[in-house]
Amino acid sequence: MDKSPQRIRGMFDSIAPWYDFLNHFLSLGIDRRWRAFTARQLINADTIDGDVLDVCCGTGDLTLALQRRQPQRSYYGIDFSEAMIERAKRKTGTLIFSTGDALHLPFDDNRFAVIANAFGLRNVCDTQGGLAEMVRVCKADGTVAVLDFSMPVLPVLRQLYRFYFTSVLPRIGEWFAGNRNAAYRYLPQSVLAFDSPQQLAGRMEQLGLQNIRIQSLTFGIAALVWGRKIKH
Ligand SMILES: C[S@@+](CC[C@H](N)C(=O)[O-])C[C@H]1O[C@@H](n2cnc3c(N)ncnc32)[C@H](O)[C@@H]1O
């Protein structure tokens, strides 16, 4: 699968005008609940003090969901698609959105209390490198989290969902957004080829995260995988 930065950036630049609408339409609004759930898990009374970073923030919906939890923190969003970042900036002036590469985050080591990534790491051409960057910029006792699609395990549901995801969703996506870089065909292909939540948890462990949790959402259609960076 071609995950070259040029292809991925071009694809998200071209679907940016349709991105939010199609996210909510194709998921029947469930994506909002997944982001709100993620925000509740990551920002609460147990979260250490400090700034929050949303890597591959796209149009900023997760960044905003995180900010709603504790507006007094500083929230940063970074993404390499200018068109996506432009849309994020239009939603609010209170968050710090900028363009940048997830594989070379322009931040010092041990900088953030929480680093989150929603539906983004799967698109980064080097999964381990992207995750390692998130761990690098995380403070001791801070949290690194990845939210993404996964495949349901219940047999009938798995088949129904697979049919919707690989046959119906790409057609609807193309009706609206056009066949721009085949983005809505790439989506199911990339999910099917990507790590399972357990594999992602294994990568986190390799990178030294501890207390790793896998939280399955909506019968396993999505999963939140997250861990804590322990003091060295
Ligand atoms: C499916 S969108 C997710 C956007 C947002 N996190 C959300 O929850 O809707 C994936 C995003 O990852 C970004 N992306 C992919 N590879 C990247 C990289 N190497 N560096 C920065 N952003 C990247 C894309 O530009 C795109 O905006």
- The helix (run of H) or strand (run of E) holding residue 6 is helix 5-26
Q: Tell me what pLDDT residue 184 has.
A: 85
Helix (H) or strand (E) holding 22: helix 5-26
Which pLDDT tens digit goes with each residue over 37-48?
999 999 999 999
Compute the distance between CA of residue 133 and CA of residue 130 in angstroms, rounded to an integer.
Answer: 5
Q: What is the DSSP string of 158-225?
A: HHHHHHIIIIIHHHHHHHHH-SGGGHHHHHHHHHHHSPPHHHHHHHHHHTTEEEEEEEEEGGGTEEEE
| pLDDT of 180 higher than 70 | no
pLDDT of 232 higher than 80: no
| CA pair distance 198, 79, nearest whole angstrom | 26
Distance CA 100, CA 103 (A): 9
For 118-173, the pLDDT digits (tens) are: 999 999 999 999 999 999 999 999 999 999 999 998 999 999 999 998 999 889 88
| pLDDT, average across residues 83-92 | 96
C-alpha 119 to ligand 1 mean position (Å): 7
Q: Is the pLDDT of residue 99 over 70?
A: yes
Give the residue among 222, 206, 197 at the shortest CA–CA distance from 26: 222
DSSP 61-128: HHHHHHHHH-TTS-EEEEES-HHHHHHHHHH-SSSEEEE--TTS-SS-TT-EEEEEEES-GGGSS-HH
- Whether the pTM exceeds 0.75: the reply is yes
Assigned superfamily of 5-149+195-229: Vaccinia Virus protein VP39 (3.40.50.150)
Confidence class for position 181, pLDDT limits 50, 70, 90? low
Residue nearest to ligand 1 atom 8, measured at CA? 118
Average pLDDT over residues 15-44: 94
The mean pLDDT value for 27-52 works out to 96
- Cβ < 6 A, ligand 1 pocket: 5, 8-9, 12, 56-58, 61-62, 79-81, 84, 101-103, 118-120, 123-124
Q: Is the pLDDT of residue 6 over 80?
A: yes
Would you state the structure tokens that stand for residue 25, as one six-digit string? Answer: 């339409």
Average the pLDDT over 183-198 and give the result.
92
